[in-house]
Structure 1
Amino acid sequence: MTLLPLVSAPDCWQDTDRATLVCRAVLEITHDVRSFHFAPEGEQTFGFEPGQFVTVEVEVEGQTYQRCYTISSPPTRPHLISITVKRVLGGPVSNWLHDNLLPGGRLTVQAPLGSFTLTDPVAPKYLFLSAGSGITPLMSMTRTLFDLGSDADVLFVHSARTPADIVFRRELEAIASVAPNIRVVHVCEGDYPSERWMGLRGRLSTAMLQAIAPDLEERETYICGPAAYMSSVRRILQDVAYDMRRYHEESFSFDSLPAGDVPAAPEAEVAAGSADALGASADQGLTYRVEFVKSGVTVDCPADQTVLEAAYAAGLKPPASCTQGMCGTCKQTMLSGEVDMQHNGGIRPREIAQNKVLICCSKPRSDLRIDV
C-alpha cells in the first residue's frame, strides 16, 4: 500500500509558504491539552504527509512569535487540519492559543514541513513510542493507517505522568477496539487523584519494552517526546541490539524557547547537496565576511559558526526557533555566496533553487550577502 496519492501538495500551499486558516472548533483533550481544528479561507483542501508540522505565527503583546506544531489530523480528512497543543508554563504561544483562539478566529501558518513521516510503501510492522504531547505526529500516522484500512501491524506505546494526562486516550482505545491490527498500550508513572492506574506503571524500561514487543526487531520504530524520554529509549534499543537504521525520531515542541533564545545546535547529518566532509574540514579555521544587507551590518563569521550565530553575535534578532534545520522559521534569501547547509527537512528543493537558506544550520564557505 502506498500513501502517495493522499499526500500530494494542494494548490493552496503549492505556490506560497503561508496561509491564513479559520478556526472551526476547539476541543478539550485533557486538562491542559486542546485540539484546534482549522479550515482554509477558500475552497481548497489540505495535503501533507502524516507526521509533518506547520509553523504558526502569533503576535503576543506586540511581539511576533513563530512556533512549530505537528499536524495531529490525518491527510485522509482533507477538509480540516488540526494541531494539538499542550499549555506550557511560560510558553507565550501555547498560552495565547489556549486563552485567545476560538472558533471563527484566524491563524497564520507556514506550509507543512518535516521528514518524520511514514515509510513508503507502508512497513508490515510499526512500533510507535511517544510521551506527553509527542503523541501528535504518531496520532496522525495512526489515524491515517486506520482510515486507509491498512493491514500494517501497529503497536502504539504511550507514556504519561498520570491517567488524566493520556492524550487521545478514548480515541486510541476506540480505534484499537475495532482494528485488530492496532494495539495500544499506555504506561503511567503514577495515579491521578480521581483514578488509580491499573495498567503498566513507571517509566518505559528494557524489560517492559521486551515484554510488550517481543518481536521488536521486526518493527519499524517511530518515536516522539521530550529529549530525556527519547534519549532513554535510544539507550534501551541499543541495549537490545536493535537495528537503528529502522529507528526514526522527532522532537516535538519549540514553545518553551523565548524569542531570541537560540541554544547551541546539535550536530546534524549532512543533507544532500551540502558540502562533503572533506570540503568542510578544509574550511575549518577560515573566517568569512557576512553582510546582513537590510540591517546594514557586516560581521566576520568563522567557517565553523552558523550564520544565525553570527547574526546574534552582531546584535541582530532574525526569527529562529528550532536551530536544527527543521522548522523553516529562520529561512532567508542568500544574495551571494556559498554555504554548507545541513538541514533536517525545513526547506524545500525549489526554495534552495531560489537561493533560500536556513541560517540556523548554514555555515559560510565564502563571503556572504544575506537579505536580513
Structure 2
Amino acid sequence: MEDFLLRQFDISFIDVSAYVGLAAAGVMTVNLFVGLLLSIQYNPTANWPHRRIPLFDLHKWSGYGALFLSLLHPVWLPLSKVAHFTLLAVFYPLVTTEQPILVSLGAVAAYTLIFVVVTAYLRHRFEYAFWKKLHYASYVVIVSFLVHGVFTEPSLKPSAVIDYFDSGKLFIEGCAVICIGLIAWRITVGAKLRARNASQATSLPAWHGQLVVDRILDAGPDVKVFRLINPAGGVLPFHFLPGQYLSIRLTDGERVFTRSYSIASAPEQCEFCDIAVKRIEGGRGSAHLHESIEPGHVLNCTGPTGTFTFTGTEADSLVMIAGGIGITPLLGIVRHLAAVNWPHDVYLLFAVSTPADILFEQEISAIAQRYRRFRYRILPSKVNDFAWEGPSGRIQPQHLAELVPHLARRRVHLCGPESMMAATIAILRELGVPDSQVHTESFGGEGVIIDDSMVDATVTFSASGKRCIAPAGMTLLDAAEACGVPIESLCRVGTCGTCKIKVTAGEVKMQRDDALTTGDMRRHIVLACQARAITADVQIER
C-alpha cells in the first residue's frame, strides 16, 4: 500500500500520519475556541436571534473528531517501511529511538484527550463543579499536542533538521499561536466578559417605552395571556433572556402603580412577547389588566430584567419545577431550548391544584413531541371529580426521583408560591441537591402577610408631606401607592432592590432582604415591597 502511494502520489505513511496530525491540530483549535466561548457563557441567540448556532453540538463533535484524528495519527507509523516504529511504540513511545520525548508528548495528549472525552460523556455522573475541574485537562491536551507538533521532526529521523517554515510546520505554528492567544484572552478579557454575561440579567433595565396589546387569550381559570407588540411594527424594541420579566406601569384613576410579569414567550419570537396574568383576589394589578385592558391598549413598560434566566450556557441539563402560574417563566425557557434544539436533557414537573388548573397543556405536550430531550410530568394535588390517570398529590421525593435520573447533579429552576417552594427546597435537600444548584423565583399573591408583630400604622412621607393609614400587614410600597406617592418598583418580591427607601422613624419588618447590603441596613434602608410596620408610626424619607 505504501509503495503504491509513493509511486502514484509520492506520499509515504509518515506523510499520511503528518497530515492526519495537522487535521487533529486544526480541529483541536476550533474545539478550544468554542469551549472558551461556552466558558464565558456566550449566548449566540442573544447576538444572532435569527440564526441558530449550536455551540454545544459544535464543541461536542469537534471533541469527538479531535479524538478520532489523534488516535488515527500514529496508526500509520508501524506500517511504514521507513519509520522503524513498532506497535509497542504507538502505545508507549519512550521505547522508540526516534525523538522519544517529543513523540511521547503526542501520546500524553491522546491519552488525556480520551480522559477528557469520556468524562465529558459521563459528566452527569459527577458533581458539575467537580466535572469542570476534570475538564481543565483539555489544556494539557492542547499544550502537549502542539509542542509535539511544532518540535517533532516529520520524517522521524534523529539527525534531520527541522524546517520551521515548512507549510505543515507553519500551519501547526499558527494553531499554537491562536491557542496561546485564546487562552490568554480567556484569562484576561474573557474573565471580564464572563462576569458581564453572568450579571447581564441583574443590571437595571435599559429600555423604557410603550408596547401595544395585540391580542388577549384565555389560558385557564382566571389566567389571561396578553400578547404585546412594538407600536411601530416589526421586532420588539429590546432583547430579553428566557425567564426574564417586564414591569408595566398601570393607571387606575389617580393611582399609578407598577406590576411585573414574566415573559412566557421565547426570545426567538422577536416580534412579540407574551405575559400571562392570573387574577388574584384583591390584586389591583391583575384585576386592572383583566377588567380594563383590551386589544389596542398602549402599556408603559420597563425592562426586561430578572436573574431567573437560562439560555443553555449555564449548565448541561435543566430540571424545572413549577407551581401554578409559576409555569410562566419556565415556559419561556423551554420554548427557547426547543427552538434552538438544545442537545441536553430538560425536565419539567408541573404542580397544579386540580386538572382544571393546568395551563398551556397542549403546548407543553406539543413541545415534548417535537423536542426529544424534553420530558415532563403534570402533578395535580386534588383529582376528585376528575377523570385523571397518573400520579397526583403534593410534590414528594419519589415524584422527582422517578422523573429525573441523577437529580443531585443537575441545575434546578423552581418557581411558584412561597409555601410550595419552601416544601420543594426541603425535598431537594433530602435528595442531595446542593442549594447552589437551585435557582428560585417566587409568585406570591398581591394580598397582605400578617403576623403578631405587625400593627396598623400611620405612614408619613416626609418629602411630600403626605400621610396614610397602613393596615397591619400592608407593605410600605402598597401604602405609598394608595397615598399617591411614587416609588419605583419592579419585582415586588424583594430580589431586584429597585424599591429601596429610607425609614427615618419607627420600625418595620421584612419578609426578605436579599437585595440589601450591610451598608443599606446600617443606614436604615429597607425594601418598600417587603417592609411592614411593627410600630404605630413610621416615617419615610420620600
Normalising by structure 1, report the TM-score.
0.71
- Match runs of 1:43-82 below 5 Å: 43=233, 44-45=235-236, 46-82=238-274
Question: What amino acid does structure 2 have at the position aligned with 1:242?
Answer: V
Question: What amino acid does structure 1 have at the position aligned with 2:323?
Answer: A
Q: Which residue matches 1:295?
A: 464
* C-alpha separation in 1, matches of 2:205 and 2:304: 13
Which secondary structure does the structure 2 equivalent of 1:67 belong to?
A: strand
Which secondary structure does the structure 1 equivalent of 2:251 belong to?
A: strand
Q: Which residue matches 2:442?
A: 251
Which of 46, 50, 65 aligns to 1:7? It is 46
Q: Cα distance, 1:321 vs. partner?
A: 7.0
Which secondary structure does the structure 1 equivalent of 2:241 belong to?
A: coil
- Match runs of 1:1-372 below 5 Å: 4-7=43-46, 17-43=207-233, 44-45=235-236, 46-118=238-310, 121-191=313-383, 193=385, 195-253=386-444, 256-257=446-447, 294-295=463-464, 317-319=485-487, 324-327=493-496, 330=499, 344=515, 360=528, 372=542
Say if 1:224 and 1:250, in contact at 8 Å, map to a contact too: yes
* C-alpha separation in 1, matches of 2:340 and 2:394: 32
Say if 1:52 and 1:112, in contact at 8 Å, map to a contact too: yes
Say if 2:326 and 2:415, in contact at 8 Å, map to a contact too: yes
* C-alpha separation in 1, matches of 2:484 and 2:295: 37
Q: Which residue matches 1:270?
A: none
Q: Cα distance, 1:6 vs. partner?
A: 3.1
Say if 2:241 and 2:311, in contact at 8 Å, map to a contact too: no
* C-alpha separation in 2, matches of 1:160 and 1:166: 6
Question: What amino acid does structure 1 have at the position aligned with 2:273?
Answer: I
Say if 2:224 and 2:276, in contact at 8 Å, map to a contact too: yes
- Deviation sequence 1:274-324 (CA, Å, 0-9, x none): xxxxxxxxxxxxxxxxxx884269xxxxxxxxxx79x97xx9955357565
Question: What amino acid does structure 2 have at the position aligned with 1:143?
Answer: R
Q: Paired residues, what number?
A: 306
Q: Which residue matches 1:280?
A: none
Question: What amino acid does structure 2 have at the position aligned with 1:18?
Answer: H
Which secondary structure does the structure 1 equivalent of 2:214 belong to?
A: strand
* C-alpha separation in 2, matches of 1:34 and 1:239: 36
* C-alpha separation in 1, matches of 2:372 and 2:380: 24
Closer/same/farther in 2, CA of residues 192 and 112 from structure 1, 3 Å limit: farther
Say if 2:250 and 2:300, in contact at 8 Å, map to a contact too: yes
* C-alpha separation in 1, matches of 2:227 and 2:398: 39
- Deviation sequence 1:2-37 (CA, Å, 0-9, x none): 662333699xxx995421110011111112211100
* C-alpha separation in 2, matches of 1:358 and 1:52: 24
Q: Cα distance, 1:328 vs. partner?
A: 5.8
* C-alpha separation in 2, matches of 1:196 and 1:327: 42
Closer/same/farther in 2, CA of residues 113 and 168 from structure 1, 3 Å limit: same
* C-alpha separation in 1, matches of 2:268 and 2:329: 14
Say if 1:126 and 1:222, in contact at 8 Å, map to a contact too: yes
Question: What amino acid does structure 1 have at the position aligned with 2:295?
Answer: P
Name structure 1 gaps, 5 residues minimum: 265-291, 298-307, 334-341, 346-356, 364-369
Question: What amino acid does structure 1 have at the position aligned with 2:212?
Answer: V
- Deviation sequence 1:78-131 (CA, Å, 0-9, x none): 110110011111212112211222211111111111111116614221110001
Which secondary structure does the structure 2 equivalent of 1:75 belong to?
A: coil
- Stretch moving more, 220-229 or 195-204: 195-204
Question: What amino acid does structure 1 have at the position aligned with 2:464?
Answer: S
Question: What amino acid does structure 2 have at the position aligned with 1:54?
Answer: L
Name structure 2 gaps, 5 residues minimum: 1-37, 50-203, 452-460, 467-475, 503-512, 517-524, 532-539
* C-alpha separation in 2, matches of 1:47 and 1:127: 25
Say if 2:247 and 2:490, in contact at 8 Å, map to a contact too: no
* C-alpha separation in 2, matches of 1:47 and 1:186: 31
Q: Cα distance, 1:163 vs. partner?
A: 1.2
Say if 1:325 and 1:358, in contact at 8 Å, map to a contact too: no
Say if 1:115 and 1:344, in contact at 8 Å, map to a contact too: no
Which secondary structure does the structure 2 equivalent of 1:50 belong to?
A: coil
* C-alpha separation in 1, matches of 2:292 and 2:262: 20
Relative contact order, CA 8 A, sep 6+: which one is greater? 1
Closer/same/farther in 2, CA of residues 317 and 343 from structure 1, 3 Å limit: farther
Question: What amino acid does structure 2 have at the position aligned with 1:206?
Answer: P
Normalising by structure 2, report the TM-score.
0.50
Closer/same/farther in 2, CA of residues 19 and 326 from structure 1, 3 Å limit: farther
* C-alpha separation in 2, matches of 1:120 and 1:130: 19
Which secondary structure does the structure 1 equivalent of 2:277 belong to?
A: strand
Q: Identify, as 1 or 2, the structure richer in helix.
A: 2
Say if 2:246 and 2:301, in contact at 8 Å, map to a contact too: yes
Runs of 4+ in 1 over 6 A off after TM superposition: 261-264
* C-alpha separation in 2, matches of 1:164 and 1:143: 23
Closer/same/farther in 2, CA of residues 178 and 110 from structure 1, 3 Å limit: same
* C-alpha separation in 2, matches of 1:96 and 1:73: 22
Say if 1:222 and 1:249, in contact at 8 Å, map to a contact too: yes
Closer/same/farther in 2, CA of residues 87 and 201 from structure 1, 3 Å limit: same
